[in-house]
Structure 1
Amino acid sequence: MSQVGEPLDELPLPPYVTAEDVDFAVRAIAVHAPEQWPTGPLCRNDHAPHPCRLHRWGQRVLAQRGLTATEITALVAHYRATAVRR
């Protein structure tokens, strides 16, 4: 069920943002990053117009958790740096 004022095509937010939700959100933002195409920026993962639904969902989850844009950028950069070593 969507929250009041939330567009129907958006993924629903969890009622309470847990540490696991934060991990999933950071991964969604990192994986669904923009890639430049002649038609404009597209999602690197699913080639939907950027930002795609999962990228927007990740941003909304982290914002609901109270993180700033700078903190989100730092978390995604840290995720990318550690994902290379996995």
Structure 2
Amino acid sequence: MDSIDDILGDIPLPPYVTAEDVTFAIKAILVHAAEQWPDGPRCRNDRAPHPCRLHRWGRRILDQRGLTERQIHAMIAEQEAPRP
């Protein structure tokens, strides 16, 4: 049987990327992070092979916005940091 990714394909990007899209993209990357399974990395949220559709969408949004890897890692770290 085909995986859902093969059937549905990638999530379309908006015509232009807003700051709100960037916020949603960071959340998608955090929620749909990789977990190691016996058969390889899988999404910790939906167990699809990693990177899943939402993780890929988030990365494409950030790439389209022109963010560097360093900026992306900083934004992710900021979201993961405990709140006072």
TM interval, shorter chain, is 0.7 to 0.9
Please give the TM-score of this superposition, normalised by the length of structure 2. Answer: 0.85
Query: Post-superposition, which runs of at least 4 consecutive aligned residues in structure 1 deviate over 6 A?
Result: none
In the other structure, the counterpart of 2:50 is 50
Deviation at 1:85, TM superposition (A): 2.9
Structure 2 stretches lacking a partner, 5+ long:
1-7
Structure 1 stretches lacking a partner, 5+ long:
1-7
In the other structure, the counterpart of 2:38 is 38
In the other structure, the counterpart of 2:83 is 85
CA-based RMSD:
1.4
In the other structure, the counterpart of 1:69 is 69
In the other structure, the counterpart of 1:24 is 24
Percent identity, aligned pairs only? Answer: 68
In the other structure, the counterpart of 1:14 is 14
Please give the TM-score of this superposition, normalised by the length of structure 1. Answer: 0.83
Deviation at 1:16, TM superposition (A): 1.0
